[in-house]
Amino acid sequence: MGVVLFAVFAAIEILLTMLSCTKYRSLWYRNRALFSGAELIILLLVILLPVTGQKWRFTGCVIILGIRLAVSGITYFIKRRGSAKEKTNAKVIVGAVMSIFLIGFALFPAFIFTGYSGLKTTGQYNVKETQAILIDKSRLEAHENDGSNREIPIHFYYPESGAADCPLVLFAHGSFGYYQSNSSLYFELASNGYVVASIDHPYYAFFTKDTTGKTIIVDFAFMQTAVNMQTSSDYTETEEDFNTICEWMSIRTADENFVLDTIKAAKNSGALDGAWYTKSENAKAEILGALERTDTEKIGLMGHSIGGAAAVQLGRERSDITAVIDIDGTMLGEHISFNDGEIGYNPEPYPIPILSLDNARTWAASYVGEKRETEYVNTYLLNNAVDSREAHFDGTEHMDFTDLPLFAPALAKMLGKGDVDSSEFIPEINSIILNYFNYYLKGEGEPNIEPWNAQTAEN
């Protein structure tokens, strides 16, 4: 849609240039106002169409065109008389080029993002959303020097009505991701009777907001280090890297522990204590309504990339977790030592059901030992777990396991997009996750994935 609009507006600017060359300035001012108004009307009509999704993509262009219409209109009424001089062709052409550039800049979000507005859910329940920020008063924010506490935004997706005893599923995003990275999955689970809590990790998420309304962007030192680790073709983990990753994992698991403990406390008490920050009383009521139908005795963890790694580690550490899903993430929490250049893995059997979903390229390299001289940590854990399952998918890359290819395909390609059709693959992944949680959290159906020991026996 953005490209089409840009082509239309560029054609309008070229037409204005052709009509305005060697014309009096008063006529040019009039034409500029008329054409600006036409462009604004076209854009507003596009926004009003019911098929136009994510209308925020056009906000910047609406503002630019509105300002330009106002300026050109006022200028015309001021200078419509006594402007008999001709406006030179060079100035008209330069003005058109600048206008096209400005429109292109304003439409940039529409070039990057599609009109994606979610996938159709399969469950019987309508889904509601609400959010809060949890303030951990036991921890200071390490990225600030003002003595402020660590704040963790949390976003709930839950059945609007008619559901009870809904298992709780906590989701954590990957490196410089954000809470909506797998929103189609949250809606799918919630429509089938789950309460999903997706959290942001401030300074490790692409952006988020704190209780003052301040926008917090990703820490650039973290982003640079993470990118170097993921993209270097000859990367070998050093002791410094090991310590850095341990620090990242510690922050993430502390966030998630606090979120789970705070949710369970609110569920048990039926009230939100001082750790909860909401923008309105209505939001408080919505959260309490969601928690009222939440079964905190049945908890599932899942996450993408390093968010999956944190879920795996938390599943080992907490006794109240029922099942864990790692979505294309290296299980970094299983790295427990670094001696003489060698990473030591946790030798204790993984204690609860775990599902690992992987892209085929990474899985194949790790399985045959091409990435490390020692056994890949994910393979090691799956072989050493009480109940493990794994599925890998041909033609996929890291970002195929998120919704990013659906709403920003160019960005997904840049970050790691395979050849699969995302409109088919993402519903498949969501269905696998739903079936897995149904089996382990609700005692329904079958997970439709063979146990890992059966797969390794075949191989």
- What is the pLDDT at residue 33? 82
Query: In angstroms, how far is the first alpha carbon of the chain from the final one?
Result: 48
pTM of the model: 0.84
169: Cα separation from own chain's centroid: 17
Token reading at 9: 């507006």
Cα angle value 269/322/157 (rounded, 5°): 60
What percent of the chain is modeled with pLDDT above 90?
A: 57
Q: 336 and 347 in contact (C-beta within 8 Å)?
A: no
- Residue 18 has phi, psi (to 5 degrees) of -65, -40
Nearest alpha-carbon partner for 453 in 336, 323, 353: 353
Task: State the pLDDT at residue 345.
Answer: 92
Residues above pLDDT 70, as percent of the chain: 90
Ranges 34-43, 214-223, 227-236, 435-444: which has the least confidence: 227-236
Q: Which residue has the tokens 């942001």?
A: 200
pLDDT over 70 at 26, yes or no:
no
* Stretch among 83-92, 107-116, 311-320, 326-335 having the lowest mean pLDDT: 83-92
**Residue 47 three-state SS:** helix
Q: For residue 87, is pLDDT > 70?
A: no
Q: Which of 67-71, 81-85, 358-362, 425-429 has the highest mean pLDDT?
A: 425-429
CA 411 to chain centre: 12
Distances (CA, A) of 302 to 67, 76, 203, 267: 46, 60, 20, 21
pLDDT band for position 293 (50/70/90)?
very high
Which residue carries 């406006």 as its tokens? 87
Neighbours of 383 (CB within 10 A): 14
Q: Give the separation between CA 387 and CA 389, rounded to whole angstroms.
A: 7
